Amino acid sequence: MGTISIEHGDRLFWLGRYTERVFTTLKSLERVYDMTLDGNADCYKQYLSAFGLSDCGDADTFFRSYIFDKKKPGSVAHSLERAYDNGIVLREEISTEALSFLQMAMDKLEKSSESTQGLLLALLPMEDILFGFWGCISDYIYDREILTIIRCGKSVERLDLYLRLKYPWRMINLEFERLCRHLQNVPKNSPYRYNTKHLSVLAELMGMGEDYTERADEAIISVGRLFETV
């Protein structure tokens, strides 16, 4: 394998972040959708408030825009496009095979938007495709540095979203431990070398167990500044 440029390093990191954003957003929206089936029509508002966003009118509008609207930041479609934009310039690092899963995901999402089936059923294959993408990444990429950068991005994004959405502590802690394992593989001069101060803050908050929610905002800031140069 050759060398990794600054730009490609950055894109690998964001490829990890955006693919994870697609996945976790999908999973979260599926959960919210499921809750609406029991008559809790307003539960989507909690999702919006977790991101500091204002109400968009009604549940149907919410689901359609946060899944299919390419112009809506944070939507599945928007994040998927960003993932593809990063992936397309990384073909020689991630392989044509892996890139093809992103194209398939975009095609699937477009078809799902026209589907008359239940929303969850129509979107289910998206998860399969994303699992395929990550499997492909793990299988095809032999360069440990490349894998580490993507995985750091993926883990940081998951942690960020889990914290915002107030996921159970156990799930957050497991992801945090996974991130720490990835960070151990980062070379010393890499821009993905962690900032000790922010990593310590996160470790401390994880030690609080379920009470982490009291300081979740602090944790989100530390995740965002994890690779800040000291």
Partner 1 sequence: MRLCFVFLQKEFAVRQEVIILAEATAIRTPVSNAVEINELLRRYGVKFGIYKNGVFKEQLFPFDPIPRIITAEDFKSIEKGLIQRVDALNKFLFDIYHEKNIIKDNVIPEDFVYISSGYLPQCEGISPVHDIYSHISGIDLVQGKDNEWYILEDNLRIPSGASYPLIARELTRVASPSAFTENDIVDNRNYAKLLKDTMDYVNCGGINAILTPGRYNAAYFEHSYLAELTGSVLVQNDELFVEDNILYHKTYTGGKAKIGALYRRISDEYLDPLTFEPSSLIGIPNLMEAYRSGNVAIINAPGNGVADDKGIYYFVPKMIKYYLGEEPILKNAPTYLPFYDEDREYVLENLGKLVIKDVAEAGVYGVVFGSDLSEEKLEEFKNTILREPRRFIAQEVIDFLDLPILDNGEQVMRKADLRAFVLSGATTRVWASGLTRFSRNPDSFVVNSSQGGGFKDTWVLSR
Which residue bears the tokens 């360069």?
143
Rank residues 126 and 205 by Cβ distance to partner 1 and give the closer one.
126
159, amino acid identity = L
Shortest Cβ distance from residue 99 to partner 1 (Å)?
A: 6
Q: How far is the CB of 205 from partner 1 (least distance, A)?
A: 29
The residues, any chain, with a CB within 8 Å of residue 182's CB and separated by 6 or more, are 148, 151, 152, 155
Distance between alpha carbon 38 and the CA centroid of its chain, in Å?
27
Binding region for partner 1 (CB under 8 A): 1-10, 85, 88-89, 91-92, 95-96, 99-100, 103-104, 107, 187, 189-191
Chain centroid, CA 142 distance in Å: 23
Q: Which is nearer to partner 1, 187 or 207 (CB)?
A: 187
Residue with tokens 């957050």: 172
**Nearer residue to partner 1 within complex by CB, 81 or 175:** 81
Q: How far apart are CA 183 and CA 14, in angstroms?
A: 16
Q: Identify which of residues 36 and 190 has a Cβ nearer to partner 1 in the complex.
A: 190
Q: In the bound complex, what is the minimum distance in angstroms from residue 164's beta carbon to partner 1?
A: 28
Six-digit token string for 34: 């499921």
